[in-house]
C-alpha cells in the first residue's frame, strides 16, 4: 500500500471511530431519563420526586374541572386513562382547554401528590373530525384511544 493511501485510510478510520463512539454515547443517553416529561401514571407511581420541576402530559379528565367563583384558581385532573393526577393552577387557561382535551402542564408535585402547575398549555391532538362525525362517534360510544395523547413526547 502506498504511504499516502495508508495515511488516508488512517484518517478515515480515526473519523469513523470518533463517529461510532459518539453514536454509542447517544444511544446510551437515549436510555437515560433526561427530558423529565412524565405521564400521569408515572407521577401517580411516585416516579417524580416531590418538589422536582417536571412536565406532565395527559388528558383533562371528564367531570373533574372545578373553578373558583372569585379568582382564577382552577382544579382538574389529568389522566392517561390508567391513573389520574390532580392539578392545581392559578391563571388563565388557553381557549382550547376543555374536558377530554390533551394538556401539558409544567410545575411540581407537592407532598400530597397534587401537581402545582405554573403553566398549562393545551395540546391539540392530531385528530381532526367534523362536528357531525364527533357526535356520531360519541353516540356510538367511541373509545378514548381515538383521541388519546401520546404518553411520550414525540422524538
Partner 1 sequence: MTPATVDTPGQDIGTDASQSLTSAVMLDGTDLFCERDDRILFEQLNFTVSEGQVLQIKGSNGSGKTTLLHILCGLNDSYQGSIRWYGQAIETQAEEFYGALLYIGHRVGVNKVLTPLENLRWTCSLQQQVSDTELYRALAEVGLRGFEESQCFTLSAGQQQRASLARLLISDARLWVLDEPFTTLDAGGLSLLEGLLRSHADAGGAVIVTTHHDLRVADLQQMTLG
Partner 2 sequence: MWLWFSKLGSPKWFYELSGKWLPWLIATMILFLVIGATWALLYVPQDYQQGLTNRIMYVHVPVASLSLSFFPLMAVAGTITLVWKMKLADMVVKVAAPLGAWFTALALASGSIWGVDTWGTWWIWDGRLTSLLLQLFLLLGIISLRSALEDSDAAARACALLSIVGCINVVVIKYSVDWWNTLHQPGTTFGMSSDQPNGPEFWIPLLIMGIAVALFFTVSLILATRNEILERERRSQWVQELVQE
Partner 3 sequence: MNKQRTSTGQAFWATLQRDLLIAYKRKNDMANPFMFFLIVASLFPIGISPDPERLAEIAAGVLWISALLASLLAMDNLYRADYEDGSLEQLLLSPHPLYFLVLAKNIAHWLVSGLPVVLVSPLIAYMLNLPSESYMILFVTLLLGTPVFSLLGSIGVALTVGLGSRGLILAVITLPMSVPVLIAGTLAIEQTSNGASLSGFLAILGAMLLASISVAPLASGAALRISVN
Give the residues lining the site for partner 3 (CB under 8 A). 7-8, 11, 14-16, 18-19, 21-26, 28-29, 31-36, 49, 52-54
Buried/exposed 30-44: b ≥16 CB within 10 Å, e otherwise? eeeeeeeebbbbbbb
Secondary structure (DSSP) of 141-155: T--GGGGPPPSS---
Least separation, in Å, of the C-beta of 9 and partner 2?
Answer: 21
**Nearest to partner 1 of 11, 111 (CB atom):** 11
Q: Which residues bind partner 2 (CB under 8 A)?
A: 34-35, 37, 92-98, 101, 104, 121-137, 146-147, 150, 153-155
**Nearest to partner 1 of 4, 145 (CB atom):** 4
1: contact with partner 1 by CB under 8 A: no
3: contact with partner 1 by CB under 8 A: yes
Helix (H, G, I), strand (E, B) or coil at 137: helix
**Nearest to partner 2 of 71, 155 (CB atom):** 155
Distance CA 127, CA 114 (A): 30
Distance CA 75, CA 68 (A): 9
Amino acid at each position: 500500500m502506498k504511504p499516502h493511501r495508508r495515511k488516508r485510510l488512517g484518517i478515515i478510520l480515526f473519523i469513523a471511530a470518533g463517529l461510532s463512539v459518539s453514536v454509542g454515547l447517544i444511544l446510551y443517553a437515549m436510555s437515560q431519563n433526561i427530558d423529565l416529561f412524565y405521564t400521569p401514571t408515572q407521577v401517580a407511581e411516585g416516579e417524580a420526586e416531590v418538589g422536582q420541576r417536571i412536565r406532565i402530559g395527559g388528558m383533562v379528565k371528564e367531570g373533574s374541572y372545578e373553578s373558583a367563583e372569585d379568582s382564577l384558581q382552577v382544579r382538574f385532573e389529568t389522566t392517561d386513562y390508567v391513573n389520574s393526577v390532580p392539578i392545581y393552577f392559578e391563571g388563565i387557561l388557553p381557549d382550547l382547554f376543555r374536558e377530554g382535551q390533551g394538556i401539558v402542564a409544567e410545575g411540581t408535585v407537592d407532598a400530597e401528590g397534587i401537581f402545582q402547575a405554573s403553566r398549562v398549555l393545551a395540546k391539540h391532538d392530531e385528530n381532526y373530525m367534523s362536528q357531525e362525525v364527533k357526535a356520531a362517534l360519541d353516540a356510538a360510544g367511541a373509545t378514548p384511544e381515538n383521541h388519546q395523547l401520546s404518553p411520550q413526547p414525540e422524538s
